[in-house]
Structure 1
């Protein structure tokens, strides 16, 4: 029974990681075709896609804070 909870926990973590990756991909400055490719890879091969993305995925986020007040330290 405990192994079932373990694998359920792993699945939840993997889904959250994939959602974070997809969000990061769509916020990048790459073209839409590249974003669709990364999204498809991560959805079709969740673990392998996450590993490949961590090595070769797009870097940088184009959208910054929503207001100047938000970015103050």
Structure 2
């Protein structure tokens, strides 16, 4: 059971890092970026889910 929770924690960490990289690369204002990053850091699972549906997206893939 310990291995499963450890793997789950690593998956959440990877998803949160992906969200933070995407937030920093977005066109949102600096203040908005800071608030989104704080939300993801303080509430890792819930913050990621909220960002997934309502957060700023990275502009790297857009032309």
**Same fold per superposition (TM over 0.5):** yes
In 2, Cα distance between equivalents of 1:60 and 1:20: 10
Per residue, is there more helix in 1 or in 2? 2
TM-score in terms of structure 2 length? 0.91
Between 1 and 2, higher relative CO (CA 8 Å, sep ≥ 6) is seen in: 2
Q: Could you list the structure 1 runs, at least 4 aligned residues long, displaced by more than 6 angstroms after superposition.
A: none
Question: How many angstroms does 1:46 deviate by?
Answer: 0.2
- Structure 2 unaligned residues grouped into runs of 5+: none
CA distance in 2, matches of 1:6, 1:60: 31
Unaligned regions of 5+ residues in structure 1, if any? Answer: 65-73
CA-atom RMSD in angstroms = 1.1
Q: Larger Rg: 1 or 2? A: 1
- In structure 1, the partner of 2:6 is 8
Between the two proteins, the alignment pairs up a number of residues equal to 61
